[in-house]
Amino acid sequence: MKREKTPPEDDYKIRCPKLGHQIAFSYCRVENRGSPCFKTLDCWYPHFLVEEFLKEHLTPEEWEKTFEKPTRPKMLTLVELVQQAKEQKKDNS
């Protein structure tokens, strides 16, 4: 089966590993505050030529920001949020 560069229509849905239910590609393109979800390439690779499509529709800066920056471990993010909350509580006292 030949994969196309055009994304499937919105009636074609796959399971989202982040949300746990079926979603269309159009959602994945804007899931991250208007930018594509960082998992878009992994999820949609078997269904169409998603990398080629996105490289044509994103600026180099958008591509880098979404797909090439290293992801932060969740634990580090949680520790930083707890620290920020403690500092805010201290400042409000």
91: helix, coil or strand?
Answer: helix
Tens of pLDDT, residues 14-27: 999 999 999 999 99
Residue 36 DSSP class? -
Q: Provide the whole-model pTM.
A: 0.71
Using a pLDDT cut of 70, give the percent of the chain over it.
99
- Cα–Cα distance for residue pair 12/7, rounded to 1 Å: 9
Mean predicted confidence (pLDDT) in 45-51: 96
